[in-house]
Amino acid sequence: MTMLSATLFAQPINDFCSNATLLTVDGPCIPGTTINAGTEDPSIDPTNYPADVWYSFTANSAQTVVYVHPDVTLDPDIYIYDNCGGNQIGYAAAGLLPGELDSISFATNIGTTYYISVVGWMDNPTGDFCIEVLNTTVPPTPYDPCTEYVTVQVSDPCYADATNGDTLIKSYYFTATSTITKCQLDIYSPYDYCGVIVLETGCGGTAVFDGTTTPGTIIGNQYTVEFPTVIGMDYLFYPFSSDLAITTPFPMDYCIDLIEVLGVQEISANQLDIYPNPAKTEFTLNTKNGSGTVELIDLTGRLVLTKQIDAMSTTLNIENLTNGIYTVRYFDGTSTTSTKLIKE
């Protein structure tokens, strides 16, 4: 494809929706630029999006896809409207880095005209690109992270996954081998922030760690989180970008390492008994030994209760804790075990 540079840095003729450039469905990729463009749409924050240009097309199928191919100086997003000043009916964001392909596929009505705003993100708002509109008669099948996952093993070598340029984010499945698991992402490409979400037993499971609300630790290009796990239980997790609107493509090359966090010898969970479970205001803990330390850990990995015990049966008050799932961890001085408690 051929890019056109803004030779004289003049204001683009299609800087306003009223002068939108007409595109032909299944036609060639048309060069464009956001250099010297302003922001017309009042619903778009000009601080975040200081430059936009406009296009229109008339649909000839029930499904249409728009592609924006930027140069390495432009980080574009795409907005779709039903008219100038009309309703927004679609939005897509490219990756966090400039130069990444942006696309959106959406349902269209044959014979209806749609308006496209190509908007430059604040860190890289100006540059050249080309734009094309293609007829898609069959809607694309969305990626399903619940079923299309990669199985990884704890303590295996760092699993390399070069996602940059892929059309999918990736999800991973593993079986826990300790009561605490550490997930470490070594990120190869320059990146500001990432996170992970960890779910018990799959997409229908309870979140044991939610990186959208609880940050991990970032040192250089390495991101690390630790979260409570139950030995033998399966977990699904996936990395995400700090911009949660981004689902495809996912602009990172990285490797993933799952690491046991032991510290002490693990013992069988059947040596720890709690009841009632679920519990409302209190629960009783029966242990093999008569003394030790009991800890309650919430789904974010935060320690919410700790108590020294000196009897084989102990009752703990949880009336003031938030309803949810907790890990009960018991340490007798030489070994540790854990189990789940539901507070309702």
Instruction: Tell me the pLDDT tens digit for each residue of 241-255.
Output: 554 444 434 445 667
Residues 79 and 177 in one domain: no
Residue 273 lies in a domain: yes
Residues 69 and 177 in one domain: no
pLDDT tens-place string over residues 31-69: 999 999 988 766 677 778 889 999 999 999 998 999 988
Residues 221 and 328 in one domain: no
Residue 142 lies in a domain: no
pLDDT at 303: 80
Handedness of CA 110, 111, 117, 118 (dihedral sign): positive
Q: Please, which pLDDT band fits residue 161 given cuts at 50, 70 and 90? A: low
Residue 6 lies in a domain: no
* Non-local CB neighbours of 304 within 8 Å, separated by 6+ positions: 296, 297, 298, 321, 326
Residue 9 lies in a domain: no
- The Cα-based distances of 148 to 4, 195, 202 in angstroms read 39, 20, 11
How many domains in the chain?
3
Residues 222 and 304 in one domain: no
CA angle 126, 130, 131 (to 5 degrees): 110
Q: Between 42 and 16, where is the model more confident?
A: 16
Q: Between 30 and 6, where is the model more confident?
A: 30
Residues 191 and 287 in one domain: no
Residues 296 and 251 in one domain: no
H/E/C letters for each residue in the chain?
CCCCCCCCCCCCCCCCHHHCEECCCCCCCEEEECCCCCCCCCCCCCCCCCEEEEEEEECCCCEEEEEEEECCCCCEEEEEECCCCCCEEEEEECCCCCCCCEEEEEECCCCCEEEEEEEECCCCCCCEEEEEEEECCCCCCCCCCCCCCEECCCCCCCEEEECCCCCCCCCEEEECCCCEEEEEEEECCCCCCEEEEEEECCCCCCEEEECCCCCCEEECCEEEEEEECCCCCEEEEEEEECCCCCCCCCCCEEEEEEEECCCCEECCHHHEEEECCCECCEEEEEECCCCEEEEEECCCCCEEEEEEECCCEEEEECCCCCCEEEEEEEECCCEEEEEEEEEC
Residues 276 and 295 in one domain: yes
Residues 37 and 111 in one domain: yes
Assess whether pLDDT exceeds 50 at residue 163. Answer: no
pLDDT at 144: 63
pLDDT tens-place string over residues 301-319: 678 888 888 887 888 999 9
Q: Between 226 and 43, where is the model more confident?
A: 226
Residues 249 and 163 in one domain: yes
Q: Between 118 and 184, where is the model more confident?
A: 118
Residues 160 and 235 in one domain: yes
CATH assignment at residue 273: 2.60.40.3080
Residues 287 and 215 in one domain: no
- Of the three residues 135, 160, 195, the one that is the final residue of a domain is 135
- Of the three residues 236, 260, 284, the one that is the final residue of a domain is 260
pLDDT at 19: 94
Mean pLDDT of the chain: 77
pLDDT at 233: 83
* Identity of the highest mean pLDDT range in 42-56, 128-142, 200-214, 242-256: 42-56
Residue 1 lies in a domain: no
- Of the three residues 135, 166, 194, the one that is the final residue of a domain is 135
Residue 289 lies in a domain: yes
pLDDT tens-place string over residues 263-278: 544 444 445 678 887 8
Residue 3 lies in a domain: no
Pick from 106-110, 139-143, 238-242: least confident? 139-143
Q: Between 21 and 261, where is the model more confident?
A: 21
Residue 145 lies in a domain: no
How are strands ordered across the β-sheet holding 159-162?
A: 159-162, 253-260, 180-187, 222-228, 217-219
Exposed (0-12), middle (13-18) or buried (19+): which is 110, by Cβ within 10 Å? Answer: exposed
pLDDT at 212: 66
Residues 244 and 336 in one domain: no
CATH assignment at residue 209: 2.60.120.380
State which amino acid sits at residue 186: D
Q: Which domain holds residue 65?
A: 17-135
